[in-house]
Amino acid sequence: MFDYNFHWRPVMKSLPDLIDAAFLTLQVAVLAMIIGIVIGLCLALIRLHLKGPLYWLASTWVEVARNTPALFQLFFFGFGLGAFGLHLSPYLIVLTGLSFNCAGYLAENFRGGFQALPDTQLRASRSLGMTAWQAYTRVVIPQVFRIVYHPITNQMVWAVLMSSLGMLVGFRELSGETQFFASRTFRIFEYFAITAVIYYVIVKIILAASRLLAIRLFRY
């Protein structure tokens, strides 16, 4: 019954290429997170404080990002925009798709964070003569970041894993690269087993880094 013969040699030969692809995965995930955090913060603030068209735009963004498959969102930026003559490179498809998705999820995390912070913190800041911008950047947002720190870490892990969808739009990140080699050598099981290990290691490194960063950042 179990007569599968493992052949690790081709996998080991292409390991350097896989590692390179892993860095590409990490790069696109980190960029998507940075963009996602900035946009997510804006979406949360818009949804908390504004009415009218901007509110509806932000709400639609969050609704679509959270309630449709991430793969479809990627397809939209790939084939959807392509249908209108706007052709993004595979790299950009994954980056925009992931950023769009992360921004939607992070917006909800930030919204929870803002609501958890007593609004008296804002009042106290304003009473000292700070502008709204100063009060937010110096007092409110630093505290909100602590509240949403672990959800952000989760989202970072999620971004790394979800970037594997890039394989389906022709992006040679870790999964795409693996697929490429696997289909050339037919050692599909071996390749994806090794790749799973690489993903696991990446995520473990992110979690460890996040923990160290937390110790440095949050001394209170």
Partner 1 sequence: MIEIRDLHKYFGTLHVLKGINLDVQKGEVLSVIGASGSGKSTLLYCINGLEPIQDGKVVVDETDVHAKGTDINKLRQKLGMVFQQWNSFPHLTALENVALAPRIVKGKSKADARDIAAQQLSHVGLGEKLDAYPGALSGGQQQRLAIARALAMEPEYMLFDEATSALDPELVGEVLETMRMLAEEGMTMICVTHEMGFARDVSDRVAFFHQGVMEEIGPPEQIFGNAQSEHTRKFLANVR
Q: In the complex, what is the shortest distance from the CB of residue 72 to partner 1, in angstroms, rounded to a whole number?
A: 39
Q: What percent of the chain is helix, strand and coil (3-state, nearest 5)?
A: 85, 0, 15
Q: How far is CA 28 from CA 22, 49, 161, in A?
A: 10, 31, 11
Q: In the complex, what is the shortest distance from the CB of residue 208 to partner 1, in angstroms, rounded to a whole number?
A: 24
Residue at token pair 């479809």 = 72
Q: How far, in Å, CA of 217 to CA of 220, rounded?
A: 9
Q: Report the SS3 class of residue 69.
A: coil
Query: Nearer to partner 1 by C-beta: 123 or 204?
Result: 123
| 159, burial (CB in 10 Å: exposed 0-12, middle 13-18, buried 19+) | buried
Query: Nearer to partner 1 by C-beta: 88 or 126?
Result: 126
Query: Nearer to partner 1 by C-beta: 59 or 121?
Result: 121
Query: Nearer to partner 1 by C-beta: 130 or 161?
Result: 130
Q: In the complex, what is the shortest distance from the CB of residue 121 to partner 1, in angstroms, rounded to a whole number?
A: 6
> Residues interacting with partner 1, by CB under 8 A?
118, 120-121, 123-131, 134, 138-139, 142-143, 146, 218-220
Q: Report the SS3 class of residue 118.
A: coil
Query: Nearer to partner 1 by C-beta: 5 or 120?
Result: 120
Q: In the complex, what is the shortest distance from the CB of residue 219 to partner 1, in angstroms, rounded to a whole number?
A: 7
Q: In the complex, what is the shortest distance from the CB of residue 136 to partner 1, in angstroms, rounded to a whole number?
A: 12
Q: In the complex, what is the shortest distance from the CB of residue 214 to partner 1, in angstroms, rounded to a whole number?
A: 13
Strand (E) or helix (H) holding 204: helix 188-217
The residues, ordered by sequence, that sit 6+ positions from 16 with a Cβ below 8 Å of its Cβ are none
Q: Which parts of 50-127 fold into alpha helices (H)?
A: 53-67, 70-75, 81-83, 90-116, 120-127
